[in-house]
Structures are given as C-alpha cells and as structure tokens.
Amino acid sequence: MTTAYDVPPVLLIERLKEKLQAEGKIKPPEWAPFARTGVNTEKAPVQKDWWYRRVAAVLRKVYLHGPIGTSHLAAEFGGRRDDGSAPYHPRRGSRSIAREAMQQLEAIGLLTKTDKKGRSISAVGRKLLDSLSHEILIELAKTNPELTKYAGGP
C-alpha cells in the first residue's frame, strides 16, 4: 500500500492542490491576498493559488504528524526572522492560516477533531492522500523501472 511517506512531498502537495482547487469546496478567505504567512516574511506570497497549496500542505502535515494543533502546525510552517545585524532566530508561522485551513478541511470531511489534541486525518482524507500517492508512484515508476516493485506493476 502506497502512502504519503513513499512519494516526494512536492509532487503530492501539487497534485492535492490541483484536486482541492478543482473541487471548489476550499475557498481562500477575503484577507488571503494581503496576509503574510508569518512574522519571518516581509511580504505576502506572490502566487495566486498560495492558499490552496498551503491547505494541501496542512493536510499532508496532519497526515504525517497528527493529531496536531495550530501551535505545532504554525511552527512547522515558520522560518527564521531577519533582524538586521542581530542573529537569526526561529519564528512560528501564522496560527490564523493554520486554523482557517484546518477548519476548511474539517468542513469537507478530510480532518476530524481529537479531544484536547488538535485535529487528525479522517478515513476519507487518508484514502485521498493514499490514492494520490499511489498515482504519483505509478507515474514515477514509468520513468524509473526500479520503482515498479513498489507500485505493484509488472
């Protein structure tokens, strides 16, 4: 069985982003074009579809580390803050973005709340990520024959 651990994260997040965007159930909040993704960033993201990419990345992180709350998720998406001549220090990402993304994923049934532990992935969300991972692994196996034994192909 192919899981999200078995494929490159970039390919999985991109494929998941396209799927969530095509379904139309996830919508960026009205403040999304102006929001910075954390105190470590100077400007808002330049990609038009950054919200869908972040929601897909949140779903993958919850799959890997769940159950997880907004504080730990914000730390996952943080970075280092440039304070001029002072040394760099790690900073958390936006908890508002993490919370809003998890609420939207929970509303469409991909995440479930866990008592006092945050949110974890639901069976529907696990099935979605595993099926996309399997598709990606099959495509990778076409270019690299050594992966066919993992993809379940001939």
pLDDT of residue 14: 95
pLDDT of residue 151: 67
Burial 16-45 (b: 16+ CB within 10 A, else e): bbeebbeeeebebeeeeeebebbebbeeeb
CATH architecture type of domain 4-148: Orthogonal Bundle (1.10)
In this prediction, residue 17 carries a pLDDT of 94
Q: What's the pLDDT at 153?
A: 52
Would you state the pLDDT for residue 22? 93
Q: Kindly give the parts of the chain with pLDDT less than 50.
A: none
Q: State the pLDDT at residue 38.
A: 85
Residue 114: in which H helix or E strand, if any?
strand 111-114
E strand or H helix that includes residue 91: strand 89-91
